[in-house]
Chain A
């Protein structure tokens, strides 16, 4: 329900309250009060004196327990008559919606913004902006939860172990800063990848020789002879070798017979030669013994990695994507992916920035495919050409790989000062000035107290006494600054029970973390220092900040949480069913969502484009996934859609479809719930825990529609599912990965999908397009949801009924500006709430 509708609801409810009260009370009277009354409080439950005016958490819990008991069929007990279905339905429906409202109402902080800790992302960004290095934050809590944004102080906790982590991450970051600051010679190395041929030939020879031994064993004249007499481990090994030979020898042959392998490397889908691994090292002659070679590993730092690549002739366009991965302590990590479209006559050069460090000195180029999907594609191609054991041919060819680095370390102002201070032991006065200045910067414009600085000086002196050098001795004092509350918390000065306008610097901090998840830059700080962050200047500043690349944090962080995109990462997809859907595609699908919202903000377009639009923001990979072959390259760009296209808008995006599936099948329930929550701003009650899966239907050949019919049989299901299921079924033309389909498979039977249905007590639709049009008509509801979410994210607190006036204002303002999301951002920043601490 939109807030406006809710206002109406409250007004109306004044008149109909008598009726409403009557509803649940008469239900109690008819079915509950015999056992749960003043005298006979069976199970210690009394219902004759309980009111549906829920005013605290305890009452909410009590009503939740009642709802759960009736919903699960636990009450009324078996020996008592079951309430008529319609009555039960009304009761459950009324109660569950009341509870959704009550939960929102109870989370109303009355506009209070609780001081918050930097969340994990902001913390990493803030360290990076001070010290110029990226830090590993995997050991800190994720901070993103389904219930509130990771900017909500109430949900951002501190624990002892976390504090220990902050100290240790800060020490590590400082050490890294010192290492990276050492002067390095930039070198450029090129690796001619056909050097791998020697190894490949060796592998082939090995397999061939083993197979010859197996043949010899099989043709033996002496039946007593054992496999080991032929150099084979045992009987099992003969089988393995002969299978490997059958599968892999043709692949070796094909590889080495291909003239392209003489000048480069051919990637393949599957063993034996799937990927190209290159170690970032060089071999140089030893100084004192020129006959011996010495390995020199690339020193740590940032590198430019380039590769010259092309697609092979007649390559399957589905396979024209290459992943660039780097080895880490946690295994192989994808850095980037590339659309490979150049021919071998005129290859393309791809480039990526990589971080080389201990344990991360191996880059791996591979076709876009994880092992599962590669195996599936491989199997599929073998079915196509049943006798070809070598699988599909090569699609991507690599000419060479080169790396350049370590690139000059970009020293931030603070790093320059730290380096200066670490030259030699500082006299106490200078040390004090330095620490105060660093703390002022790290504390975002707050002075550190003198005792604090004195203690840091003592620690520095102690370290020097213990024989540390002037650089090492600085680490602990600086790490302490970076683990202190003034750094870790966005602490705005506040007074009990009073609204206080933010200081200019506090406003700058709030703004920078809202739009960038980074601390303010020099420009923003200087405006704040001059007291100019007001009205038009503030507006110009917001526009400047949105144009800055740091604003990608707004999209990745806010949009991910607003749209509940966590679900995208919950399931792995069945590679046999969806050989194209792997982690690379999934990440690109998420990027499509972020890029679309960004495009709408950047171009001051209407948010209605998120429901339906005549364009999509795609790159080569996503366009290929949707069957649109004319988009080339990796960057996302606007693609105009034909009039009758089903694409355009969130519902047609692969990410949204995939979030509404379990990796095997679509889940109309998940999709319907998502539409109600995110597009129609009419969230159904949370799914009751402890609902049995519809297992009695398992194994029967039923369509999704038939299965979901079960929901209509029981009132405890139908009171929510009658709203959810029709919407989800209307989206059935999108398969689990967002590809369009006209039919679904049921145990090898194809059944045409029928998306028709109607919204609960609303219009009916015959197709996805008609459903989309109905949702488009309700864009006001969508925008109310967006406003409430963005407001909550930006203010760092839950949004509740006390924010109604502000939300109405923002909505009006947006409407005036053609539903521009940029206008909404301006509106929020200009609002009194954003500029006040309460």
Chain B
């Protein structure tokens, strides 16, 4: 059985989305900005899709939801344009992000920092959530931007963006949120709180890859990152990805209408799996589940290095993920586990299971059985659970030998 539980990385494309996109490759392939009927026949599809996208996040008609190539582009765009507009010109000197943002925010912030901007990396608390107080403590009249993700990709922890938005408004500071993990997981409505920029990406909610967006509140214009033929109202040049836009529109509509299912049925599946996994000895979950997206579990299996767990799962056809040392190209421990201040020996043991509306109970039953077998095998190999003679001076983290 093949089971896909890595939906925070990417998702299966909804077959209806795929069908909706198909005509825009071979039949309606015109460049929307040309002056002929090949162009105009793409317009109704684009318009309908854009309306669905606006509606999906509650954007006002006068706001701009600019289509980009991905969330990474959207995040880069916000940080770099703020840098050019406010930091380079000397109007402001500071931005704030959390220490567990996506690399597209952290790496961009580090680049800006290297160009002379002050950057505050806000810590997370022991539940994996950014403290509102930390935002209050560090915001100054020289702060140009606060960029805090809405939901964390690794833990699923939902951050208090409403309160952070309020603080930013009080201090007249621009506020950006990376909502990549939010769309389709819980209601997203930009009218209900103060937010100036909001990033999202279609492939995280059963749309195609290569298409993302940036919501820009009316009056909070950004200078473009990509100059050229002035598509997207001059905000973002580049020939429109028509099929992608159509796909994202359809995916957004489907994600919004599946919200209730996601927040009840999928949550229940997730909770059941989590309950069962936690029955395995020496397992740990960080963020309380009511403070998490309904589809995500980040769980540590003491004594089992993350990549070896992925190995055993993968052999059984199950896809999960880990941010820990060996699986990624660098040797860092799971950044969120580190930031939370989890016991050091657990930093390399975290495994993330992320469900979607396509996940079934049968798949999770199979996953649970497979995990149990893997835990037994790998703890059998593990030095953490190994025999040591009496009086042995251990060089390992030896609190449970």
Chain B associates with chain A: no
Residues of A at under 8 Å CB distance from B?
Answer: none
